[in-house]
Amino acid sequence: MNWSLRLRAAGIHLMSSLIVAAIAASVVFLVWYPWPYRIISGGEDLFLLLISVDIVMGPLITLAIFNIKKPRKELKRDLSIIVVLQLAALGFGLHTVYMARPVVLALEVDRFRVTTAVGVVEAELAKAQEGFRELSLTGPRLVNTATPTEEERYNAIMLGMAGADLGTRPTFWRTWDDSARARVRKAGKPVSQWLSETKVPAATRAAVVDAVARTGKSAEQLLYLPMLARRNDWSVLADSTSGDPVGFAPINAN
């Protein structure tokens, strides 16, 4: 048993797997889950779990089955099967990450909701307003939500109790406009007040201060509103003058 050759084959397989993983990571984190959605929507944890299993298992199987004494045809067949199975597992994992990607950041009265592709009420896409019938591939789209009419209210309440809130329903998605900005200005709370009055660990406070700095504005110029996502301990930062979202911070406002 030539362990040096086995280790070399497994090493080559590992390097190849890492290259493929790096390409996949660039798509996931630069396109589907732009910062900070990789944290807010759990994309980072999900991707790392799936990709680590894929990266480790392939080279380990190669280490176990690689034998230079095998007929060349048999060895090629074995390695080809490993590669096909590994790529199939990677494809399944990426599909899972793709379906869990955030597609909408919706304002629901006085809070924001991050809706994932799998969380959208798909049956309503065809009935949505023009421009909202296809889901984003490049991070969440900022939308306002319409207020249900009297006729729609009961149905909206029932669906909401079942988990289908307005932010998940395409028929209620609307273009981000001045009415949405006014709602943000009315519902938002001053970040400066949170910083001066809230007792939190030093690391959390430092992260919020850093998030404020990323916006290019001072804490006095910013409001925060709660955001519902896979992680609910983050908030949207909005310009107190314009009402437009300008960033995110680990402020637990829920």
Q: Do 83 and 115 fall within a single domain?
A: no
Q: Do 115 and 77 fall within a single domain?
A: no
| Non-local CB neighbours of 202 within 8 Å, separated by 6+ positions | none
Q: Kindly report, residue by residue over 4-14, the tens digit of the pLDDT.
A: 877 888 788 88
- Picking from 141, 176, 211, the residue at the C-terminal end of a domain is 176
Q: Do 127 and 93 fall within a single domain?
A: no
Between strands 222-228 and 111-116, the pairing is: parallel
Q: Of the candidates 132, 135, 7, 112, which has an alpha carbon nearest to the alpha carbon of residue 60?
A: 7
Q: Do 149 and 86 fall within a single domain?
A: no
Q: Do 47 and 132 fall within a single domain?
A: no
- Picking from 99, 128, 163, the residue at the C-terminal end of a domain is 99
Q: Do 110 and 139 fall within a single domain?
A: yes
pLDDT at 149: 62
- Picking from 79, 99, 119, the residue at the C-terminal end of a domain is 99
Helices in the chain by DSSP H: which ranges? 3-27, 37-40, 43-65, 72-99, 150-161, 178-187, 191-197, 202-215
Tokens matching residue 251: 């402020």
Q: Do 9 and 94 fall within a single domain?
A: yes
Q: Do 87 and 121 fall within a single domain?
A: no
Q: Do 143 and 116 fall within a single domain?
A: yes
Q: Grade residue 198 by pLDDT with cuts at 50, 70 and 90.
A: confident
Number of independent structural domains in the chain = 3
Provide mean pLDDT across the span 51-62: 81
Q: Do 81 and 125 fall within a single domain?
A: no
Arithmetic mean of pLDDT over the chain: 87
pLDDT at 154: 47
Q: Do 95 and 116 fall within a single domain?
A: no
Q: Kindly report, residue by residue over 204-236, the tens digit of the pLDDT.
A: 899 999 999 999 999 999 999 999 988 778 999
> In which domain, by residue range, is 236 found?
185-254
Hey, what amino acid is at 129? Q
Q: Do 10 and 92 fall within a single domain?
A: yes
Q: Grade residue 116 by pLDDT with cuts at 50, 70 and 90.
A: very high
Query: What's the Cα-to-Cα distance from 146 to each of 105, 109, 242, rounded to whole Å?
Result: 14, 9, 20
